[in-house]
Structure 1
Amino acid sequence: MGKIRVGFGYDVHQLKEGYDFWLGGIQVPHEKGAVGHSDADVLIHVICDALLGAANMRDIGFHFSDTDPQYKGIDSKILLKDVMLLIREQGYEVGNIDTTICLQLPKVNPHIPEMKKCLAEVMGIDENDISIKATTTEKLGFVGRQEGVSAYCAVLIEKK
């Protein structure tokens, strides 16, 4: 067995009207979207951070600065693909990914199968190695007031 490492990611994005809402690599219909330098896909961002952290390669902002114009409006799936290349260059493969999205509205559960399919294709891993869960905050805090979305991610990677 190779060296096993774990990583953790956390991210938050503000929600505002007039923006598309990208989550887990797919566009989710909603009257508000996430605001960010890229497409603001909070789920992909936490996966990137967790993977980079597990490989001891800093974080998403280190590799893809939010002040760099080349990343303005970029599809986060491109960032995730690049992160997978970075960790694979270090000899790592994904064991599994466990995520939680915190969002009051819209309901995420109907979109989870499509998100898993999309992420698995981008990462070149099995859908069964990706867990996506969703919760509300029972109308408490910025998530409950529908001002933002947050997500958490834990990953396990193994050096082959």
Structure 2
Amino acid sequence: MRFGIGYDVHRLVTGRELILGGVSVPFEKGLEGHSDADVLAHAIMDALLGAAGQGDIGRHFPDTDAKYKGISSLMLLERVMEIVSESGFQVNNIDSIIVAQRPKLAPYISNMAENLAGAMRVPVSAVNVKATTTEGLGFTGSGEGIAAHAVAGLRSNGV
């Protein structure tokens, strides 16, 4: 078994769609970023790459590369899974948490887990997604941004 951790944060801005775990969440703001700025998918990708010893998403998908402008993070997650597999590993499990004061995310959590599991080609039971607030504290509590943390467990795929 190998483990990796991931963390991502993006600023909330007007004029952008809020995408979390591949789900379009109705909200008056979205996350600013080069891709679709899906902090949950980004944290999971960094956790996966870390567990596989393959750096981070900035190394594989730099924000200076125009081909990643506006791209779906689920598409990037599919590529990360190719890297993980080529490195000799497969996903055992993912545990993740979104940190946001607003919007309330409970109605969207199961769809997020399904989207992420689909992109990783693993059973949805292997993907855990949670959400929490910070009781109004910090940049997430004030509504300036949204953060996500993830832990990935990988096992050898026998390659």
Q: TM-score, normalised by structure 2?
A: 0.97
Deviations 1:79-113 (A, max 9, x none): 00000011111121100000010001111111011
Whether 1:8 and 2:5 are equivalent positions in the alignment is yes
AA aligned opposite 2:137: L
Corresponding residue number in structure 2 for 1:112: 109
Corresponding residue number in structure 1 for 2:36: 39
Corresponding residue number in structure 1 for 2:88: 91
Aligned partner of 1:54 among 34, 51, 57: 51
Corresponding residue number in structure 2 for 1:26: 23
Q: Percent identity, please.
A: 51
Deviation (angstroms), 1:17: 1.1
Whether 1:71 and 2:89 are equivalent positions in the alignment is no
* Superposition RMSD in Å: 0.6
**Secondary structure of 2:135's match?**
coil
Aligned partner of 2:138 among 133, 136, 141: 141
Q: TM-score, normalised by structure 1?
A: 0.97
